[in-house]
Amino acid sequence: MRSSEARQGSAKLSKPMGAHPPKVSQIMSELKKYPLWKNCLEKMKEAGMTFGSFWPVAFFEEELQVKATTQEFQFGMLALRDNIKHGDGGFFLTSEQNGQIFQIKEAEEMIDHALGYDSHAKAVMRYAVECRMKVLKNPAAVLKAESRTKLESDLEKASLRLLLVERHKTFAKIIRDKNPKLLNA
């Protein structure tokens, strides 16, 4: 008797109760992704995120579910900015009007933004070459033979990279000046 009662009980549980249950697609569309900045990014893309578009701080407070004055908000915005910067469009989210509006920089502004990164990269590369040279020239730097050889090799490679980055003419211009026939080949 118990087995028949168990079968009847399981049959009762398998029948839908009352109204039809919500469809999986409805449930999935209402679910939020974690971390919350991912939902925020999706909504920005759905709204047509592009160069020059902007959002008020209230939008981000609602999406991140924290006030703009909190550290959680700052962390969320940091993750959001990083994802936008390295995403498909090459966008850069910046704070405007004393932090009341966040805007994707205009395409023209991105040119200057990229040049700033170029300058920073060159400065870092110069410093890397300088550090290696100072270690090699310093008589107090005691290095094993293999370490010295590796450091000299690294210095040569770093110096060549720096030379290529710091050149003022592109290779196409150099070839055009020296041997324009090569461009037609």
Model confidence, pTM: 0.58
CA dist., res. 2 & res. 160, Å (int): 84
User: 92 is in which domain, residue-wise?
Assistant: 24-104
Residues 127 and 77 in one domain: no
Residues 64 and 99 in one domain: yes
* Domain end among 73, 104, 135: 104
The answer on pLDDT for 181 being more than 70 is: yes
Q: Is 146 domain-assigned?
A: yes
Look at residue 11 in the predicted model and tell me its pLDDT: 46
The answer on pLDDT for 8 being more than 70 is: no
Q: Is 62 domain-assigned?
A: yes
- Please, what is the average pLDDT of the chain? 82
Helices (H), 70-180: 71-86, 107-137, 145-166, 171-178
Residues 174 and 136 in one domain: yes
Q: How many domains does the chain have?
A: 2
CA dist., res. 24 & res. 31, Å (int): 11
Q: Which two tokens stand for residue 127?
A: 């410093």
CA dist., res. 165 & res. 168, Å (int): 8
Q: Is 147 domain-assigned?
A: yes
- Dump pLDDT digits (tens) for 58-105: 999 999 999 999 999 999 999 998 998 888 777 888 887 777 888 888
Look at residue 59 in the predicted model and tell me its pLDDT: 94
Q: Which two tokens stand for residue 5?
A: 């009662």
Q: Is 8 domain-assigned?
A: no
Residues 55 and 88 in one domain: yes
Angle at alpha carbon of residue 25, lines to 20 and 27, rounded to 5°: 70
Residues 49 and 91 in one domain: yes
- Mean pLDDT, rounded, for 4-32: 55
